[in-house]
Amino acid sequence: MEIVYIKTPMGIAKITGDESGVASISISDEGVISNDIPSVLQEAVQQLTDYFEGKRTNFDLKLNPKGTDFQQKVWRVLQNIPFGKTMSYLELSQKLGDVKAVRAVAAANGKNPLWIVVPCHRVIGSDGSLTGYAGGLGRKMWLLEHENPSSQQSLF
């Protein structure tokens, strides 16, 4: 498994993967930025860089996250939430065909190993509130604002 650490506006992203695909992307406040990017991770680094520069609204990477069948199913549905849009945990459960699975869906969402690429940050509470996020609610808010910046109208 190859590993690379890159600087992002939100901290240091750790990307792991191999020829089978990207296995994980996580964020931390600490880490040493890599000097060399393994060839199998170059596309992931480029696409994340493009995302943060506002040049990319979706990802086209070969993914290989580890998880249960149910988690994999939730993560696939998450990838269908459009850039700049949000969905509640209840709506996500409905898309999966079981409104009673809200807690299981939330738990699977919290186990998402592919930060940003599988956009769990786009899932919010039914009342519109920002709810749990492994990277912290400040990062979740930053990502949602990055994807849907409010346009202040001029007063003059």
123 class by beta-carbon count within 10 Å (0-12 exposed, 13-18 middle, 19+ buried): buried
85 carries an active-site annotation: no
Compute CA distances 56 → 44, 61, 146, whole Å.
Answer: 12, 13, 11
3-state secondary structure 114-145: ECCCCCHHHEECCCCCCCCCCCCHHHHHHHHH
Contact 146, 10 (CB under 8 A): no
Q: Which of 13, 87, 120, 123 is catalytic?
A: 120
Q: Which two tokens stand for residue 15?
A: 């990307």
Alpha helices in the chain (DSSP H): 42-52, 69-78, 89-95, 102-110, 137-147
Q: Which positions are catalytic?
A: 120
